[in-house]
Chain A
Amino acid sequence: MTETRTDATLTRTGRRGSRGPVNRDEVLLEIKDLRVTFQRRGGPATAAVDGVSFSVKPGEIVGVVGESGSGKSVTSMAVMGLLPQRGSKVTGEVLYRGENLLTMGQRQLADLRGSELAMVFQDPMSSLNPVIPVGLQVTEVLRRHQDISREDARVEAEDLLRRCGIPDPRRRLSEYPHQLSGGMRQRALIAIALACKPALLICDEPTTALDVTIQAQVLELLKELVNDLGTAMVMITHDLGVVAGLCDSVNVMYAGRIVEAAGRRELFAHPRHRYTEGLLNSIPRLDAPRGEPLQPIPGTPRDTIAWSKACAFAPRCLHADDECVVGDLPLVQLGRVNHPVRCVHPAPEEEPHG
């Protein structure tokens, strides 16, 4: 976590030499008022992401938490320019080092995507090319971004796989994706994402398909990366446990909008939005006393109202009343510093959680 450790690692591995020292105060990625609407043939337009803004600095892990339909994955796809052109409309700004990725040419974006931006998906099998050996997929990326020989690339790929926790990397290099286990594939995918030494890594549920012990390995690997290389990371997940252990700051999304944002300790100690509060109360905790019934959030994520008419969470909220029927509730600071909330009746500030 400290600068000295980072520098030592950087010098040792000789990475990132060309890009100069990492300035950890610079804003690397800034998302401003991102909106994504989908229009299906004949159907009405639906806003999947509805005015999302947040920023990421180097060496920082920003969490985006939400359930199905919250728009968290669509956000990441929009940032990477991976949404289908037909049927989707993206507005707002995604500034990467001050340049708007949304207005950038396809070619320029593709260049950037391979070199500075990388993404790790939930399903490693569909993101790896099944007919090309894993090693070749790693060396391909390495050689695209560096002017090195095939042999050098192979050595570096082997090193990369080893550092990603893949045992016997020399043998693995010549194997095909289907010969690897799920956890191994996910680590291979991370190795490919890291091959271009990205400045920004977007992880979309990278560990959801993995077993917990493998998840712990992968999360530890990602943590090291951020600490050692100063990579900025956006972590998209539904798992509050993962967020609690990994992220510096957290954005909670519901029905396409951020409903609460705070530093991780702040968020878990003082959840203000009723959705965040409800989530924390509804999940069984390994360390909680047993025998107490859980307090579920009623309804399903499908039971929403358009934000333009009222709070989208109101139909499931135990504290909802007529005042919640307000169009376009703002995300505002309520008392606590750096902790904006989009709620008419937020949880009282002093109420201790837990």
Chain B
Amino acid sequence: MILLAFFSSGVEAGQITLSIDDISSPAFHAKAISATLDGPDFSRLEARIGELSLRERTWRKVRLTCVKTQWNNGEIRCDQGELDLGEKLPVRFVYQQQSKTLALTLDFPQGETWQLGAQWGKPGWKVRVEARNGQVMRLAGFLPQGGIRPTAGTWSGSISLDGSRTELGSVIADAVFKDIAFADASGLHAGEKIGGGVRCDVSRRKDGWLWRGEVDWKSGEVFWQPVYFADGGHRFVGQGSLEAGLLRVNQGNLRLAGVGEAQLSGAWDMAGRGLTDFDLKAAGLDLTGLYKVLIKPFLEKTAFAKLKSKGEADLAWRYRDGVTTEFDLSLRAAEFIDEDQRFALHGMNARIPWSNTEERQAEFGFQSGEVLHLALGKTRVPLTMKGWQFSTSDFSIPLLDGRINVDGFTASRIDGVWQWHFSGGLAPVSMERFSEALKLPLMHGTLSGIIPVVSYAGGNLKVDGALLFKVFDGTVVVKDLSLLEPFGRVPRLSATLDMRNLDLDLLTSAFSFGNMQGRIDVAVAGLELSSWRPVKFDAKVASSPGNYPKKISQKAVQSISSLGGAGAAAAIQRSFLSFFEQFGYDRIGLSCVLRNGVCLMDGVEPAPHGYVIVKGGGIPAISVIGYNREVSWDELLERLKRVTQKNVKPVIQ
């Protein structure tokens, strides 16, 4: 263990000098060592070490002095010495020559004491470090560079090591901590005011080490990017081994305050592969704490980043050679509510026993829920899973007083990217309920439709075929619908809309637009929305072909006129036409080609300096002419908002 490179000694009158060039061992290295004894009965000791290295830490010009050294039957005792490690510290020690034992005590201010007990010789050596209120920062120098560094706090307890001439045999530690703070250089792994205790017992076996340990984290906060623990109350007890660079937990129990308790085992490859095997079993986990502490930080960029959650979960997870091979998740009476009120699920139950090789059946369902304020009813979804391929048989979700039918939903994950598709339909939902839920003006009729194949791949959602809805006694067909990055920061939608035979009476009575009777067709070609706002489209509203009553109220005339600017409406209000409540018309037509935020408008036919929006017919008849061909889209929306607000009343002068 010890290599003496050079040894010399000398005795002069009243002085003994000893010098050693170099001592090295697996644990420490010392250079230029000298010791001098002089004074009465050789009671004055001065020992110097030119350079002392212990693990990563090095001290230079270390000096130990003792003015009153006692020599007695092979015992050297110093009750009042001084150790200079750059900082001068009071030191006491006793050395027993025969048993080769050293007991050394360092007394720091404010009741801080460190004791070192060492014994060496045959068959091996023992070292015990004890501390009372020991500043953990003194240990910083012994830790590897670039990792976590203690920055404050104290510890009390002991660390015992023993070994043979060539190797370490065991380490036993039992310590309590108080107000510990630590951080790495980036500050992304840090803790403050941590109190608790650590006990561990590590012993060498033939091919490696066996360990048993217990960590009791009683108080203090820790941020371990991206997870934050606001307080303690957590505990880990485990045992395992360390061999061939593989740290194993054979049996572990982890208790996280506010979350629950888990049994775990696993292996960590310290050579760089990281976690290779892992098994976890947990029952009765509190979903509130589980989501808040462990799940939410990983969902920051998703739609599930701001949830209120409740309920219980059981989880079994098996991970082998860097791959999840099985998990079994159960949710009981769970509740997830989006804080931005986009969706909510209540009374959710699920059993998802997944395997990466075998086909398994899963099931999940909820008692009620809502999406964008539309109420969802009790739903149950049976699911067949085979690895990362999922499929459901047909199921339906009650929506308001109707239901969404989902046929043949399948999803798969290929090379880490999700894709899914389904088809289905919307069974009639009353427009009254629909408009009420969305806080829209009360509309009448029903909403129903067919949903052709909807597919999602590579972050884009596409609808093959035509979505068909029935509203306002007419039909709405949505074609070529695609959504790029629907869950990204800038969702982009493109589609073509074709609405036929919409009942104007139903439509205008929903908004405070003024009553109109008749039917219209609306065609929106090349619609492009970006962040759900229109960027481009070619829209055209025109009277539907066919015979039907065509009437337009004075208020509706004013509303339409207002869309073209205030001037036209005022002119009508002041004319004799204000005596009539209703007018006949022949055709209605208005088109808008939206480009670069400007709507290029046109009507049924040209008119001097403008275009005809409502072409009169019958008695009394009225024609409405638009003069502004280019209107800012934002301005147009503002005008539309003004004329459809309920509190706007026609002004008859």
Q: Is this pair of chains taken from one and the same complex?
A: no
B residues sitting closer than 8 Å to A (CB atoms) are none
A residues sitting closer than 8 Å to B (CB atoms) are none
